Structure 1
Amino acid sequence: MNVRLVASHISMAYDEVSVNEEEFKKEFSKLSESDDDPISQWLKLAKGRGETAESDPVLLNLIVELHRKIDALEMFLKNEKPKRVYLEHKVDIESIGFEHFKVSSDVFVSGVDYYGRVEMPVHPKRDVPIFFKAVDSSLAEITKIHERDEKEWGAYLTARERVLIREAKAK
């Protein structure tokens, strides 16, 4: 199998789907774009009603992100943590493609289905839930990802590719 991958530096928590399939499906749905935090819900409704037509989109996004940071700070001060399903394993992803990724060590069992949360280094920083199948002990194929997350995954891949091209030209 010939898969084109680009070097990256992101981490992921994961577990076999068979361990807790129903809870993984619930979390996957919960982390979807339709179940964002309250400020995102409000912003989507406001956009839908046309209330943001005269607003600067960059400024609006920055204000929303500032609101999220305040919410996160408040959660930290109250010692609250987001409720997430426990995932037993953690691994670094060393390279990514549009539908595949390769991890830094041989941890997968070929043909087994897994669920994972990838810590995407994008703005705003967040966890991306994915279902994937092991192709071999370190290569996996993404089988299920939300549409918005797939776009961000592709944008991150493209950005990494550009960085590597610039680095190669500089040499």
Structure 2
Amino acid sequence: MGCDYGKICKENGIYTRIVSCCLNVWYDEVSKSCEQEYLKLADMGNDGFNHYLEHLKLKNKIQDGDGIVIEILTRIYQKLVHLENLIQHHEETFLPLKQEGIICALGHGVVCLENADFKRGQKYYMRFELPVFPQRYIGIFVEAFDKEILKITQMHQRDIQDFDTYIANKEIENLRIQHKRKDI
């Protein structure tokens, strides 16, 4: 990271730890079609099977040890649906967005793109693949408060949980790396 994103965030009243990452992102200024894709991305994977599993979780019918097995079965089911869609030529298409870049850092509520040139106060829509289990694309609305840093203004609840978990896992990973370096 060429810039001290944490310092800039603090200067703008956003207190978060920043973690390095490398995620492809597509973005554009906000439009009606962006709002439609945002809603569509939230519904991806929310079929009857997933609703049934959520219902079981809410009713505490899934025991603690069963969670991982259920997640793996869910992923297998999603892959089968994906294969079925490929065979039937129903491939998922996304809204073409004008800009493409690399997210080089994340914080709770912020996204950082190195070598970007965002307009301060401008609102954007972004789509990127969040590397969590199961991996999926998420859409977010952001507002630039620096030429390289954007504040997240809208994100679906499930995505917030997975986004924050991803950041926390990256923080733990970085601490382990630092600890190993000290041991050497």
Q: TM-score, normalised by structure 2?
A: 0.80
Find out whether 1:158 has 2:171 as its counterpart: no
Out of 112, 125, 137, the residue aligned to residue 122 of structure 2 is 112
| 15 and 148 in structure 1: CA distance in 2 versus 1, 3 angstrom threshold | same
How much does 1:52 deviate? 4.1
Equivalent residues, number:
167
Deviations 1:22-62 (A, max 9, x none): 222222222226972343133334555x4944692221221
Find out whether 1:84 has 2:94 as its counterpart: yes
- The corresponding residue for 1:6 is 19
- The corresponding residue for 1:30 is 40
Secondary structure in structure 1 of the residue aligned to 2:34 = helix
Q: Which stretch shifts more, 102-111 or 61-70?
A: 102-111
| 75 and 35 in structure 1: CA distance in 2 versus 1, 3 angstrom threshold | closer
CA contact (8 A) 2:56 2:62 kept: no
Q: TM-score, normalised by structure 1?
A: 0.85
Out of 57, 74, 90, the residue aligned to residue 84 of structure 2 is 74
Rounded to whole Å, the distance in 1 between the matches of 2:130 and 2:97 is: 17
CA contact (8 A) 2:45 2:78 kept: no
| 37 and 91 in structure 1: CA distance in 2 versus 1, 3 angstrom threshold | farther
Gaps of 5+ in 1: none
Identity of aligned residues (%): 25
RMSD across aligned C-alpha pairs, in angstroms?
Answer: 2.3
Q: Which amino acid aligns with 2:22?
A: H
Gaps of 5+ in 2: 1-7
CA contact (8 A) 2:108 2:164 kept: yes
Rounded to whole Å, the distance in 1 between the matches of 2:177 and 2:44 is: 38
CA contact (8 A) 2:26 2:98 kept: yes
